[in-house]
Copies of this chain bind each other. A is one copy, B any other.
Amino acid sequence: MRHAVISTILAGAISIGVTAYSAGSAVAQGVNEARFASDGQVMIPEDWRQWVFVGTPLTPNALNDGKAPFPEFHNVYIEPSAYAHWQKTGEFANGTQIAKELVLIRQKDPDEMNADGSTGEVSGVGYFQGEFTGLELTVKDTNRFADQPGGWAYFSFGHELPYAKTASAFPAETCNACHEASAADDWVFTQFYPVLRAAKP
């Protein structure tokens, strides 16, 4: 009953419930939150390509037996208000959103591709970004995702365009196993993201 009353009072605040105002909440930390549908699915961000780019690992299919775990460039972005919090504190606030857009290596001409998947362009031999092929998102919220290690939940909007409008969280073990074991900072692979390393106070 108490919960219902307080929730009603807070109805204008995007209805994220009582925990929204605890000390560690996204609202308290000034971070723009992901939007969630009433069924709990996260909604696709509107403008992730205008978020702050942090780095792009590249795992060519040609170097991974034709099937890289994440094809192939992974353009990684952090939502700007979460970036501002990181710049100030060196921590990922509750509410932090990090998007990963997958991009195929550009095939100028399949006959001209080298065995390692590289091609020759005017700027040298290497890898160039072709077409988008997937969008994933991770959201940190130790209140909403209290059962996820570190409070990080992981979502995929699919590997086809147009992307799905909403996505369910993966089971905890699917993504968190690697992130927990190998990420340098709070489940995030900052060792691959020079922009975040440089911005850390």
A interface list, Cβ under 8 A from B = 49-50, 52-53, 55-60, 63-64, 68-70, 73-75, 77, 80, 83, 103, 106, 116, 118, 121-132, 178, 181-182, 191-195, 198-199
Count of identical protomers in the assembly: 2
Which one of B50, B64, B75, B77 lies within 8 Å of A125 (CB-CB)? B64
In whole angstroms, what is the CA distance A121 to B80 when docked? Answer: 27
In whole angstroms, what is the CA distance A128 to B53 when docked? Answer: 14
In whole angstroms, what is the CA distance A191 to B131 when docked? Answer: 10
Which of A126, A128, A193 is the most central at the interface, judged by chain B CB atoms within 10 Å of its CB? Answer: A126
**A64 contacts B124, CB within 8 Å?**
yes
Output the nearest chain B residue to A57 by Cβ-Cβ distance. B128
In whole angstroms, what is the CA distance A82 to B160 when docked? Answer: 29
Known contacts: A130-B194, A198-B132. The answer to whether A123 contacts B56 by CB under 8 A is no
Output the nearest chain B residue to A51 by Cβ-Cβ distance. B53
In whole angstroms, what is the CA distance A128 to B56 when docked? Answer: 7
Output the nearest chain B residue to A56 by Cβ-Cβ distance. B56
**B58 contacts A58, CB within 8 Å?**
yes
**B192 contacts A129, CB within 8 Å?**
yes
Known contacts: A130-B194, A178-B122. The answer to whether A56 contacts B70 by CB under 8 A is no
In whole angstroms, what is the CA distance A191 to B118 when docked? Answer: 16
Least CB distance from A144 to B in Å reads 26
